[in-house]
Amino acid sequence: MSAGIAVITGAATGIGAATARLLASRGHRVVIGDIDGRAEGVADEIRSEGHQALAVRCDVSDEDSVAGLFVSARDLGSVQVVVANAGIAETKGPLHELDGSAWNRVLDINLGGTALSMKYALRHMVPQGAGSIVAISSILGLVGQANSAAYSAAKAGVANLVRSTALTYAAQGIRVNAVAPGYVDTELIRRLPPEVSSQMISRQPLGRVGTPQEVANVIGFLASPESSLVTGAVWAVDGGYTAQ
C-alpha cells in the first residue's frame, strides 16, 4: 500500500536523490523537483525498481514554479511528506567584499526556496490535518565559519524557520523538522582539492565525511510516523562536528 506522496526538491543528485530512493522504497510515490535534468534519471531508476516516481522541473526561487510542482504532486494523491532540500553553495569571501547579487541568489534559493516549499506543502497538509516536512539546514546554520556569510545566514534562517513553523502548525497535526548535515560525499566535495577535503575530514571527530545515504536515513526517520513526537528539532548529522 502506498504511503502517500513525498515531494523532494533538489533530488537530482546527492542527499536529495538518496532521500527520493529511500522514500520510494518505503512505499511513497515520489515527486522530484529540480532544475537539473538528471532528476529524470533518478525517477527512471526508481521506476525500474517497481516504485512510482515523477520528475518535475522546478526552480525553488520562483514561486510559480514551486506552486506548479505541488499541483503536479497533488494530481497523484495526498501529499504526506515534503523534503525541502534544494540549495546551492556560495563563493566564499569576507563580508566587506560581498557581491550583492550572489548574496541574493544564495538567500533566494537556500532560504526563500525552503520557505516557498514549506508554504505550498502546508497548503496541502493543513486541510488534511497531517503531514511531515523536513528542511535541510547545515552545520553552518548552527555554528560559525569564516568567509561564509550568505550560506551561513541562509542555513541559520532555515533552522529558525523550522522552529517557528513547527510551533505554528503543531496543533494541526503537522510536524516540521530540519537536518543539519556536516561534510558529506557529494559532487561539491569531490570537486575540491585533496588538501581541502582532507582538512574537512579532520574536522569531523568520526574521521570521515558522511554519505548521502546516512543523511537520507535521518530524513527518512523524521518523515516517518516513527518520529511522531519530534517537531521543531534540528538534527545535526555531522560526525560530531558541532559537539566540539
Which residues participate in catalysis according to the annotation?
151
**DSSP alpha helices (H): ranges in 129-205?**
149-169, 187-190, 194-203
C-alpha cell at 40: 529524470
Burial of 62 per CB tally in 10 Å (0-12, 13-18, 19+): middle
**Which of 231, 1, 9 is CA-nearest to residue 118?**
9
**Which of 78, 18, 30, 93 is CA-nearest to residue 56?**
30
Per DSSP, 148 falls in state B
Give the length of the chain.
Answer: 244
3-class secondary structure, 44: helix
C-alpha cell at 179: 537536518
3-class secondary structure, 174: strand
Amino acid of residue 193:
P
C-alpha cell at 69: 510542482
C-alpha cell at 144: 560559525
Are the CB atoms for 209 and 175 separated by under 8 Å? no
